[in-house]
Structure 1
Amino acid sequence: MRRRPDRSLQVINALQAEVVVLQEADKRLPPRPAALPHDLIQSHDWTTLDFGQPGGSLGWHGNAMLLRPDISVLGTAGIDLPGLEPRGAIIAELSTKIGYLRVVGVHLGLLRRYRLLQLMAITRELRRRPSMPTIIAGDFNEWGPKTALDAATPGLDFVEGGHSFPAPRPIAALDAFALTADLRATSCGVHRQRPAASASDHLPVWADLIRA
């Protein structure tokens, strides 16, 4: 029941990922300071992306993205999403070892009606942008099959690593990825290695991507 940023970084590093998308990366009350201190992140050789968040915050509406230094950033944006509760998404366009890649980080609403509206807002934003291989990653808050979200995500296919919530005894695959047809997940899963179950209320999910 104690916040331990060092433990969270231990889990993040164990993923051996090149791009990490985080949710609830800031404390809830204004001025929403970062739950993971910036200097601690940098000491572990991660780059924190800027999405126009207020000073001191790590993310946009709590969504944040960390990169390893060999990835180049082409552009970033934070977008507000519709719903009863404040929600947002982050978008980063990157140059990676598999080519150009757009990564969208999300933490969708608790009600399906608003989840669908939020995904439709994201896909509208994606249509306004140049074509690029795209992955939407994060907490979709959908307890059932992701096919319930298909109507709001045309051109995207869902990939689920497995049950990730609640971390001590996972029963729901809330955390997932949605990929455009020009991307393929060669493998994916849930990271269960200690201390993941005590570092967060969600276990991390991961995916290895290639161009399709």
Structure 2
Amino acid sequence: MRLRFASYNIHKAVGRDRKCDPERIMAVLREIDADVIVLQEADRRFGDRASVLPRALLDDYPWKAVDVARRPRSIGWHGNAILVRRECEVQDSEALHLPTLEPRGAANAVIAIEGRNIRIIGTHLDLSGLRRRDQVRALLEFVARTTEDCPTIIGGDFNQWGRFTGAMREFGDDWHAISPGPSYPSRGPIARLDRIVTSPSWLCHDAHVHHSPLASVASDHLPVYAELDLPEL
């Protein structure tokens, strides 16, 4: 099975031109055409935490939002949302709490693709760096506690500049950390903040930063994606 997995910090749909344009974000996602997408900053931070991508807008695209929201107008948890193709069957989903000095969390889902269950976790780690390692540990402990042993992908904005330093060390040798390339800031990317980390089951066929003319203005981050292979049992 080959899966295209993408991660995108959409900056509440506000682009470099300071315009809030959800349809532009969706157009970028159409360009990538991933099977599974984890989003960061998909909900507004204050008030009722409404999604910046209206559900009615999502109805016009080939993805559905996994139900991890705690508020009626949200599609995510602390801005973390998961989109999957409509034919994917969602077996389980939940919002995860992370140790934090600021509002942070993660979205977790188990989905069935081609008859196989896989776990997807989307997250946005601490900006200050004080709790990033604790947050990665919490995610790994959650995976270790789950009763279902299934191939896992963790994606998101790790806010970690070093490819193999800091919080990334917590993954050890068993997990495969994929840094497709510089993705921030979108105008002239220099930092590899957006990462994809996989359990040993996965093989990375290819990975890219999506740097199209539209993506360069739609958000302050560029999306990243990877083509992942899951060998037959």
| Structure 2 counterpart of 1:191 | 210
- CA offsets per residue over residues 69-127 of structure 1, 9 Å max, x none? 12111100111111110100011111113832111001000133311011111111101
Task: State the distance in 2 between where 1:150 and 1:199 align.
Answer: 28
User: 1:141 aligned to 152, 159, 167, which one?
Assistant: 159
The count of aligned residue pairs is 212
Please say if residues 98 and 211 of structure 1, whose CA atoms lie closer than 8 Å, have aligned partners that are also in contact.
Answer: no
| Structure 2 counterpart of 1:13 | 30
Secondary structure, aligned partner of 1:92: strand
Q: Quick one: higher RCO (CA 8 Å, sep 6+), 1 or 2? A: 2
Identity within the alignment, %: 36
5 Å-filtered alignment, 1:1-212, equals 1-97=18-114, 99-129=116-146, 130-154=148-172, 155-212=174-231
Task: State the distance in 2 between where 1:98 and 1:182 align.
Answer: 16
Secondary structure, aligned partner of 2:59: helix
- CA offsets per residue over residues 151-207 of structure 1, 9 Å max, x none? 422431201111000001100010011111111110010001120011111000001
**Structure 1 stretches of at least 4 aligned residues deviating more than 6 Å after TM superposition:** none
**Alpha-carbon deviation of 1:46?**
1.7
Distance 1:179 1:72, change over 3 A: same
Q: TM-score, normalised by structure 1?
A: 0.96
Secondary structure, aligned partner of 2:108: strand
Gaps of 5+ in 2: 1-17
Task: State the distance in 2 between where 1:22 and 1:132 align.
Answer: 22
Task: State the distance in 1 between where 2:164 and 2:152 align.
Answer: 18
Q: TM-score, normalised by structure 2?
A: 0.87
Please say if residues 118 and 151 of structure 2, whose CA atoms lie closer than 8 Å, have aligned partners that are also in contact.
Answer: yes
**Alpha-carbon deviation of 1:39?**
0.5
What is the identity, as a one-letter code, of the residue corresponding to 2:50? P
- CA offsets per residue over residues 54-79 of structure 1, 9 Å max, x none? 01012111000111112111100111
What is the identity, as a one-letter code, of the residue corresponding to 1:185? C
- CA offsets per residue over residues 122-151 of structure 1, 9 Å max, x none? 111101112110010000000112343344
**Alpha-carbon deviation of 1:29?**
1.2
Secondary structure, aligned partner of 1:111: coil
Please say if residues 35 and 84 of structure 2, whose CA atoms lie closer than 8 Å, have aligned partners that are also in contact.
Answer: yes
